[in-house]
Structure 1
Amino acid sequence: MLELGPAFKIMLRHPIGPLLIVFQLAFSLILLAYILMVISARGQVILGLDDDKKSVFFIQVLVDGDEAERSLLVNQDLSAIRSLAEVEYASASYSIPMYESGLLAWYWPADGKQNDAVRANYYSSDEFSMRALGYRILEGRDFVSSDIDRVDNPIRNNSKNVIVSESLAAILFPGESALAKLFYGSGNVELKVVGVVDRVPGVDTWDYSASAVFFPDARYQKGTFYIVRCSEDALAYVKEKAVSMLLKINPDRIIVRNISMSELEKQIYNDDRLFLKLLLSVSVTLVLVSLISIVSLVSFLLNKRRNQISLRFALGGTKASLACFFMVEACYYFVASLFVSAAGLIAYKYFFTLAVEIPALKPEFFFISFLTLLCVSLLAVFITVRWAIRNAPASYVIQE
């Protein structure tokens, strides 16, 4: 094996190039890892809905008046929608999964610290919302009428019963049941878990996309969603009929949207396709730039170390052993880039604050990013060295 001492001496004599490559690799590692994390999160949204959620549609309406007037009108609307024989469940909320992703808030367990809070989406619900949305209660129970905060039944000042998604329960209470556990939300509101539901789809990029808290809140806002579940074969008819009934109750109302969950999923998927293609293009570009940097460095070192290489050949060295040497050398650059990227992530976490918060990078994505760049670069180094020796063997002779 060739000695590494001459390699380090060359690097010390020409430090700018190697340092730039190390920093470029570190930047590529971090950026590629975040891109993979984004692609994974977005992929979870467009994996496809199960059949139980494909017979659901949403009607978004603007409801005028004060809180009491809005509550009266929404209840009239719900009664009319529920009167349709094909309707199984109907509910109302001012935020729904997969559309605007609810309202983002912070939550932390009762025995934890507020500094360790995690983010999750907030959704308002009544006693019919879980069944209308098609969410399975994995543990505990659904909301009952006495849980619901209504205009005529205010419970704002009491400890609230809530339902959480499975993913949030695992974060707040790892390795144990979340049922009947207490935790806190923004404003130090005490919350009690009465139920846990399955995966909640969202449209956010990061982990909290699938983390959700459902509050028993029937105090309706000006922008209200009606969540309707019906038999799948009657979906088109019920969508049209429900809108006509709402307009009959109030002809002057504004209906913003009438869309099924399947249509909403398709729209999100179409919106995401271009976004994901862009991220994949950036990923390929990062890999190519890293390859060009490594190959350029190897070519430079091949030219600077002709004497050492020719001596190795004279002692019986092979092209494969030479290629392996340069591959080991390339590994040193990647190890150095690991330390630089880790230092950058630590510095960001403790010393910098950006206008848009970036979640912590998951180790598995960083590891995948590192392995991808390393394997592709080592293959490129091997091919470059073999190609250079084969096509210009005469240049690798001992220089007197």
Structure 2
Amino acid sequence: MIFIIDAIKQVLLWFIENFIKDVYEGIKRWVKNPKRKLYPIIIVVVLILTVFGVWYSPQVQKVTKVADVKWTMISFLGKETDKIILSQAPRRLKDKIYNMTKGRFIIEIDKKAQINIDTDSILEKVSNGDLDCAYNGIYYNKDKYRPLFFGSAIPFGLNTQQQNAWLYYKKDPNDELTFMQSIYQRSNLNLNVIPFPVAATGGQMGGWFKKEINSIKDFDGLVMRIPGLGAEVLTKFGVITDEDKRGQPLRSNEISGALADKTIDAAEWTGPHDDVKLGLNENTQYYYYPGWWEPGTTFDIQVNLKKWNKLPAHYQAIFKAACHETLMEILAEYDQKNGEQLKQIKQTKTVKPFSAEIMQEAEEETNKLLNFYAQGNPLFKEVYDEWRTFKTRIQGWHNTVNDYAYKREAE
């Protein structure tokens, strides 16, 4: 059938081409002899173009017909976080996709469904198709998901620029998926998910404390709001996490109150802008840096793989572009507003670096923890080994050319 249509098209094109030549010759003859009438020629031209237009229009519509797509998304951040920058990623993403597809690809954010749902459950709901996609933080509790931590942040790991390079890294440039996307496809994880980086905080602060932290001993007995691998490292120094004390982690809008009533002694979130928005500075005096447990934290849009594969190719391209633009916007806004807010914080609070002793012992404990997980989880070891090789290579480059290197040479 396709062969017949193509043949008809070729015949029509040949006919039109030759007919145009005849018309052109007729016009030249008419110019030489104006008494000759053009009406028959004009009528035939109109008829031919009309017939061709009637046939050709449906063919164009078949090719250019655009699919209508409607997805549902939830966020790991509740409504109480609306005033922080990080929470804006889902709305910005859906708006970009809507505009770029002229309203043909719609993503609705279901705020009711995201109340009191943990990150493990979000990941699994996307995987089994209960959710089309979700904005999620990689703070999983199940051991089998620990290899995915390398897609967000590792203590004493990659800075923001290096983390972006890692998340777009492919072992083979011809691979369809990035390295971290390919890890989600491993059979031992049993996930039907493909992730896309969509937000990043940049470098983070080390948290707000009621008392000075001058040595490792000062952590002993401290109750602190902190999640993830950073929490696991600090518990080695005697820190009690908010989750261990309460049985569940504090929500963002509960942290300030917990500091006020002395339920906790310290808390970390991201950095100056969001911390002040959440009121972490109201009942604490000391603000430490750096947040060595999350040096370049990234957050994903996780998409159900079957839904992703059903998208037209140009919608997939639009989705990727919208994710990347949102990632860059969020990161740029954090860098700008954190600098402004930190300047104000310094006027009333004590901003201090963690001591060299704390940094050294924390890094040593981090390496022990990562090696421990590598011994008991083959997939964790595979990702850890690839990540370490990448880290060594990219930091060797950055340490050669970054601003610090220039400054050091100048000195």
What's the TM-score, normalizing by structure 2? 0.24
Q: Indicate the structure with greater strand content.
A: 1
Report 1 or 2 for greater relative contact order, CA contacts < 8 Å, sequence distance ≥ 6.
1
What's the TM-score, normalizing by structure 1? 0.25
